[in-house]
A and B are shown apart, each in its own frame.
Chain A
Amino acid sequence: MVMTFLHSGYNSKISLSASEVLEISQEISRNFTPCFSSGMPELAEKIRLSPKELLDIGDEISRSFAPKASHNIPEVTLLPVDPGHLYAYWNLGENRENAAPDNEDKGPLTLRIYSQPEQEQTATETVAWFDIAIDSPSPRHQVSLPNPVNETAYSAAIGICCEEDGFIAFAHSNIIHAPHAGATWRQGHENATYCLGKNASGQGISKST
């Protein structure tokens, strides 16, 4: 099929096939697509990139540099959740094999939670602890505090229990404080009205449609 611009004010004798129109269109797209350049002040010579190029670069980076939590060094991190809960995550590093569930020589992987009243932080003999046996392959755990106590510092160690109440720690955590368990917490929040509660029309949920 040949198309002619019969009503064009330009040279009406030019006729183009469908493939020619397509080719011209593609060439214009290639060369004249609106391009972005960096707005960063340090940039002296501007590189211009089309949306397609931006997308390709973004996708390639996402594919090749996907985040991974694993470190080579063992570590455990403790986070505060609420007056009754802490949250721990860990990496075992090269101790992974020692902590493998099928290692019969050693006890199970254990998360040890230490608690110490704030006023007594220098008196190490007052440190109390409790153990949580980790039987899941997941390297994270929400810790329920058996008796939440205010003004108490918490820390954790990840390791394995061994004979005669021994404990081999692979890593020790940061020190944190659980949120203060005040009257509000003790009342169990039955009358609480937080911003995330929907009202009858659904308001109160944000940022999404």
Chain B
Amino acid sequence: MVFTFPHMGNIYMAAKITFDGLGIRYVVPPKNAKRALEIGSRISPEEMCLPFKIMMGNFVQSIHQGADCILLVGSRGPCRFGEYSELQYRLLKKAGYDVKFVVAKFQEEEDKEMDLASLKDIVAGVQMNKGAMIGAAVRGLRSMYLVDHLERKAHANTGYERSPGESRKLYEEGVAAAFAECNAQRAFTVLKDYKRRIDAVSLDKSKRPLKVAIIGEIYTIIDPFSNLCIEDKLMDLGVSSTRKLTPSWWITDTILRFFRLNGLDVIRHSGDYLPWWIGGHARECIAEAVMADREACDGAIQIYPMGCMPEVVARSILPNVSRDLDFPIMTLVVDEMTGEAGFITRIEAFLDLLERRRNKCII
């Protein structure tokens, strides 16, 4: 079997290093672009959310390159992400692509499985002992943390660097160099090397660039294509940005969930506004807005795909968070129709506002 998986930011790096380590055949779908979205929108329901459509594009493009089994993470929250695999399987079949799905589930394992391949099928062809297999998987997970570290540093360092753009260059170089490497161990070493270099970037902490937190729906804030590369735009403008939701955050959260220790800071910070888990990452969104204010960010930008149910709830709460904390929050909704010019205008206007707030008029 040849495996494939949907794109979401940099998770392809971790997947590549894991599969290379295990010696499993796989296809990395072409980078998210207009083409994937076009293919996806054509075969997806009109009112589906943006991540679904982009993922469908990824799958079709991968299938054309020879993939025949799709790896996906499942969920049983009330957000529609949990029904993705069901519908995607059917729609792909309808469009003439007969593929298998492997859905990794981490909650409430009472599901019956039908046409689903299981984790056993993935490792069936691997000629390795168990220890080496676990080692390769752990290396894959650790590389996710490394890539996220590079990305976080690149975004956070913007504006503070003595030679502007250094961290960003290191991040982009590091990811490209690790991706070009076919040996898992060497790719991992490359990432570690770049981590060391990015940690050594010289910063001038006396500078005071604008600092913005990116909050909202996990896919659209992690995946640069779906949010029209908002973080790159912020870096271009010399704005430092932070984002709590990353693939590695998700891994940590999922592991902690087994011990019921996940989201403790989320519970603490969102308690006043949203004391219940309502699915998706609505509660995280509220908590991150509150945390961003505590961490002396100048403002926050919420991004979510059109029609995202949990984020609509979060959006109706955010104006009050903003008012109570005197903390500016802008909401951007993305879908396949989002125009880039309108997007840029709004971001620039928001940043102008943040800048002006700093020189508060005292009269």
Do A and B assemble together? no
